[in-house]
Structures are given as structure tokens and as C-alpha cells.
Amino acid sequence: MTPTATRPTGELRPRRPPHLRWWKELLTIIVFYLVYSWIRNQFGSESVQASVAFANAERIIDLEKLIWSYHEETIQQWFLDDRWFIQFWNLFYGSFHFVVTTAALVYLYVRQGHRYVRLRTTLAVTTALALIGFALFPLMPPRLLPDHFGFVDTLRTYGGLWSFDDDALKKVSNQYAAMPSLHFAWATWSAMVLVPALRRRWARALALVYPLLTLFAIVVTANHFWIDAAGGALILGLGYLAGRWWDGRRRPATTEPAAVAEDDAAGAMSGV
């Protein structure tokens, strides 16, 4: 008797969970973001005393000085002579986190559906945790500190596609929402999505370096202290644990090895 040929277990192709529907996911994401924006703006710049945000900034500076890492102003000064360079990073800061995160989320759903629930939940929990940080620790970013600190508000000085000085934007933004850095958290999440999935080396390298580029952008534009990025990495780690737990509740007992391997690779990215 000839034994029945079996397909190697590691070659099984994981599938998107059958309950996922793109229109439900899109509606959920839109509602979640609207609720997030509303809650964030309840603790916006106009509702927080500047003295509180400034005092928290001084605490961050004291902490960085304590560990010999308060160098943001020096780093910014290195590049201020190149107007076009600074304008590029203003553009990067203001747009890439939306564009890249949205593209990664769509790619995740379309091409990596078996990882979607875990990483979508990771993103949602991470963003929700950021709201807690914004509410409990309003933080004045370096660009808004008094002149004697030496920071330059690059968006105001060099210009960009938008401005915090716009009255309409002031009413719907929270300029003290700096800790943790959601820019860095979303950038690292995007790398978690893309690095294990992309096949071309240059594309994987670009996805891998994207969080570091974001870290540079938030520092050189004086929108964050570097330690805000550490806070972003922390909430992302917590978000990933929550996403893994939630996915584990819904995933069948017999999980395809390929899905497990790719999820483990994504988890390792939370340390980027």
C-alpha cells in the first residue's frame, strides 16, 4: 500500500478569519478614530493649563539630564541651516504617520488576513492607551518651550502644509499630547506589520528603518523629547500583549504553523 502523500505542515497557507468583513472593519475604524479624536480634544491645549504642561516638560528634561541623554536641542541645531531639509521633515512629521499606518492596515487586511485580528487589536489598544497618557500627563513639546531652552518651532519658522497657529486647527488639536509619542508607536506598529510580510530585501529594510526615521523627525522638528518615543514603545508592547490575548480567544485550537511563525516575527518587532 502506497502511503498517502501529505503536504508539509509548514507549507499550510493560513486564511483570513471568516467573520471579517471589510465594510465592518472600515466602519469600526472610522468610529474608533472619531471617538479617539473627541476624547483627545477634551484634554486639548485650550483645556490644559500651560503651567502644568510646562512643569511636566521640566520633569522630562530633568530625567533626561539625570541619565545623560538630554541632547534634542543639540541635534536640532545641527540641521537648522538647511531650510529644505527641515521642511521635508515637517512634511514627514505631519503626514507620513497617517499615510503609512493606513497603507499598512489595508495591506494587513488584504494580504495578511490571518494576522489582521491580532495586529488590528494591537493598534487599537495602543491608541487607547495613548489617550490615557495624554490625559494624565499633558506635556509641552520642546517647540513650545520658552526661547532660552534653545528649541525652534520648525513648522512656524520654516513652514509646511499646515500650521498649529490656524484658529480652526487649534480648536481640534491637542498640542500637549506628546507623551507617549503616538507617531513613534504607529511607526513601529507599521514595521511590525510589514517587515515579516515583505519579500524584497530593500522593502524590508525600508520598513525596518521607518521607526528610526520617525524618531529623527519628532526630534529634529522639536515635537517630542526622545523619551516620548520610549513611552510610545511601551504602550505598543502593552497593546501587542492585549492583541495577542484577544486573538488567542478567537483563534481555533489548531493554528496553522505559518501563522504562528509570522505572528512571532511581528511580536519581535515590538522591541524596535
Render pLDDT for 45-57 as a digit per residue (tens, 0 to 9).
556 788 999 999 9
| pLDDT of 2 above 50 | no
| pLDDT of 230 above 80 | yes
Q: Is residue 232, in this structure, part of any structural domain at all?
A: yes
What is the residue range of 97's domain? 47-271
Grid cell, residue 253, equals 485550537
Q: For residue 76, give the nearest of 185, 179, 219 by alpha carbon.
A: 219
Q: Is residue 134, in this structure, part of any structural domain at all?
A: yes
Q: Is residue 121, in this structure, part of any structural domain at all?
A: yes
Q: Is residue 72, in this structure, part of any structural domain at all?
A: yes
Q: For residue 220, give the nearest of 99, 88, 112 by alpha carbon.
A: 88
Helices (H), 69-112: 72-79, 83-91, 97-111
- Judge contact between 46 and 171, C-beta under 8 A: yes
| pLDDT of 128 above 60 | yes
Q: Is residue 189, in this structure, part of any structural domain at all?
A: yes
State the pLDDT at residue 40: 65
**Number of structural domains in the chain:** 1
Global pTM reads 0.81
CA 52 from chain center: how many Å?
25
Question: Looking at residues 203-231, what average pLDDT do you find?
Answer: 97
Q: Is residue 41, in this structure, part of any structural domain at all?
A: no
Q: For residue 123, give the nearest of 175, 177, 191 by alpha carbon.
A: 191
Q: Is residue 148, in this structure, part of any structural domain at all?
A: yes
Q: Is residue 3, in this structure, part of any structural domain at all?
A: no
